Amino acid sequence: MTSLSLAVHRARGATETVLGQLERQTRDQTAEIQKQLAALQTRTETLSGELSRLSTRVDELSQRVETLTRQVRATQPPAPAAPRPAPAPPRAPGGPQPTDVYQTAYIDFSKGNYPLAIAGFREFLRRFPDAELANNAQYWIGEAYFSLARGYANQGQADKATGALEQAVQEFRKVIVNYPRGEKVPTALYKEALALLELKQPSLAEARLKYLLEHFPQSEEAPLARDRLAALKKE
């Protein structure tokens, strides 16, 4: 019994010792946790304060931006009204329009359909003799005959080539006579001179080149005319 009592006493002492250790550890851990919780709470409160200050600052900046925007708008002049589109040219009642007839003839010329182009430009001049493109149409008639002459010459048809050249001279001359202020006059003078040279009429060609240089010295054809005159003097 005595031995049993001593064993129980020792066991109780050991248990109390273990319990004491556990209690101390628990207190220490609880204290550490409470310390960490207090630090976390302090940090959270600090962040909340900073967030509140930032939110207030953002609100202030937004108000300043809005105020500045209103001031800038107030000082800017009103935007000019968008220009109205130019009214379309009045269309002639019924029938094709001048530009349609002209473009059709020009397309035929660009494709090498010279007889069709000549007919188209003549129809244009018949219907719209006072149109802005009238001098151009007359010029392209001369150019079409000039191109036909070269085609006949390449085919060995000398008579047809001569006839086309003579017609080209007449058509180029009409540009100068009928539209003296037209933009195609210098070009028509130069091409007329070239046709005269191919017709073996150098004196008339020289006269047309000199007329070109005298009346249109700043034209694009003037340097070409000088070169042709220089070449004629050497022949």
* 7-48 per-position pLDDT tens digit: 777 777 777 787 777 788 878 888 888 778 677 667 766 665
Q: What is the mean pLDDT of the chain?
A: 82
C-alpha to C-alpha distance for 182 and 167, rounded to whole angstroms: 20
Q: Which pTM was predicted?
A: 0.60
Query: Which residues have a Cβ under 8 Å from the Cβ of 89 and sit 6 or more positions away?
Result: none
On whether the CB atoms of residues 169 and 208 are closer than 8 A, the answer is: no
Q: What is the model's pLDDT at position 227? A: 95
State yes or no: pLDDT of 57 exceeds 80.
no
**Average pLDDT of the residues in 171-191:** 95
> What would the pLDDT profile of 79-131 be if each residue is shown by its tens digit?
333 333 333 334 445 567 899 999 999 999 999 999 999 999 999 999 999 99
Query: Which residues have a Cβ under 8 Å from the Cβ of 126 and sit 6 or more positions away?
Result: none
State yes or no: pLDDT of 51 exceeds 70.
no
Q: What is the model's pLDDT at position 84? A: 38
Longest Cα–Cα distance of the chain, Å, equals 163
- Of 108, 126, 128, which Cα lies nearest the Cα of 117? 108
| 70 vs 160, higher pLDDT | 160
